[in-house]
Structure 1
Amino acid sequence: MIDILMVDDHTIFRSGLQRLLLDETDLRTTAEAGNGAEALELVRRRRFDVVLLDINMEGRNGLEVLASIRAAQPALPVLMLSMYAEEQYALVAIQAGARGYIAKDAEPAELVYAIRCVAAGGQYLSARAASQVSGQLGGRDDRPAHQRLTVREHQIMLMMLKGLSLTAIGNEMLISVKTVSTHRGNILDKLGVASTAELVLYAVRHGIIQ
């Protein structure tokens, strides 16, 4: 039996996903979490075979939570779920330590297959995402600038878009304010913007935030 921790800040989505998995005799949702803090508490005191983790959550986003899960339970497979298209976050998620990435609009059978795949020690990407990731790793990278940020830069960018100060970001990531400032400068340079206000406009244009 594959025991699943489901992490998503939308109760309705979690309920629908749990009902979907009831039809599978080898899968069961043994716990749910609505945010990163709840998820980490569960990971530290209970055993799971797979974590289904949403990227776009209030508070700490899924990539930040993924890093904490990797630190607490390095061998625990994490399958990232997202409303974002695969080309936007798949490579970032894999580089951050996820075992797989799947869009929320995927067919139910594909999600079930992906869960079984990562639980068995494999890695899951759709055929389209796998081709894109392969090309990106091979140097054929035509993604928008924000998709070429490093994992840490991407995490800091998302925190900046939430309005967190450099000090707050440093405290959250356990790095110095000077280091955060350096990353901020690199992010703005890579995206071709001159300020946090311009970064917000960039994020809206590219669908990073609504």
Structure 2
Amino acid sequence: MKSTKGWTEVAKRPTQLLLVDGRPLFRENVMQLLAYEPDIAVAGQFANLSEARRALTTQNVDLVLLDYDPENEVGPILLETLARLQHVPRFLLLTAGMEVAELHRALDAGVSGVVLKHGEPRQLLHAIRAVAQGNQWWDESALRQGSTPTNRNAEGSHPSITARQRQILHHILDGLSNKEIGTVVGVSETAVKASIQELFHKTGVRTRGQLVRVALEGHFEDWLKPHG
């Protein structure tokens, strides 16, 4: 469950967002949703990533809300676009569901999160703010709509994690900060940091982003089962 708290500070400069989606009606609905959010400003809207390239190279964009359609080869286009940018924004994908192979391609392209396209508007706002602030956001309901994942580390070790670590990992995917996780779980921020460090040690990573990637790619079934 995503947290409904934690967005108490409004940045002095609104998050500059590019909206990239092929359906005009959907873009209009998102524009109407964001019109009432003072901390998010739509810098432009485009039908596809190719059309948005000029804006990405000429404007100081913070975040791109991008419709993900595997038939449009978003991954290769995204990689090519990122290679040309001096200032690289964060990318949040809108999707009706992703196969695991598509998820891997999105991660390789540098995407920061995935959100269900037809989910609740409040969820979309939380996802935008989380990614804009440098966190990850992975809507598990969107990721589970694909086929059963295969474990990239099938021949390697399978480190187990505790119920508390699994709970914290889910909240990391929800885009919560350490302080917010502590509030939700009912432990101190120090305890949350300690659990995350244990997860880093078990997976051999150093950052939250690397931890998310390992969990999604290699431990989808055992670590990311529904909890509660």
TM-score range, shorter chain: 0.5 to 0.7
How much has 1:68 moved relative to structure 2?
2.4
How much has 1:139 moved relative to structure 2?
8.0
Unaligned 5+ residue runs, structure 2? 1-13, 144-172, 174-211, 223-228
How much has 1:13 moved relative to structure 2?
0.9
Select the residue among 74, 78, 83 that pairs with 1:62: 74
Specify the code of the residue in structure 2 equivalent to 1:4: L
Tell me the TM-score normalized by structure 2: 0.53
Specify whether residues 41 and 75 from structure 1 end up closer, same or farther in structure 2 by C-alpha distance, changes over 3 A only: closer
Specify whether residues 125 and 86 from structure 1 end up closer, same or farther in structure 2 by C-alpha distance, changes over 3 A only: farther
Greater RCO between the two (CA within 8 Å, min separation 6)? 2
How much has 1:26 moved relative to structure 2?
0.6
Specify the code of the residue in structure 1 equivalent to 2:215: S
SS at match of 1:6: strand
Specify the code of the residue in structure 2 equivalent to 1:66: L
CA-based RMSD: 2.8
SS at match of 2:89: coil
How much has 1:11 moved relative to structure 2?
0.9
Select the residue among 101, 104, 109 that pairs with 2:117: 104
Select the residue among 139, 143, 162 that pairs with 1:126: 139
Q: Percent identity?
A: 29
Number of residue-to-residue matches in the alignment: 140
Q: Does 1:71 align with 2:83?
A: yes
Unaligned 5+ residue runs, structure 1? 142-210
Match of 1:181 in 2: none
Select the residue among 136, 146, 156 that pairs with 2:217: 136
SS at match of 2:43: strand
More helix by share: 1
Contact 1:99 1:118 (8 Å CA) reproduced: yes
Match of 1:42 in 2: 55
How much has 1:25 moved relative to structure 2?
1.5
How much has 1:98 moved relative to structure 2?
0.2
Match of 2:187 in 1: none
Q: Does 1:26 align with 2:39?
A: yes
Partners of 1:4 and 1:86 in 2: CA distance: 26
Specify whether residues 102 and 90 from structure 1 end up closer, same or farther in structure 2 by C-alpha distance, changes over 3 A only: farther
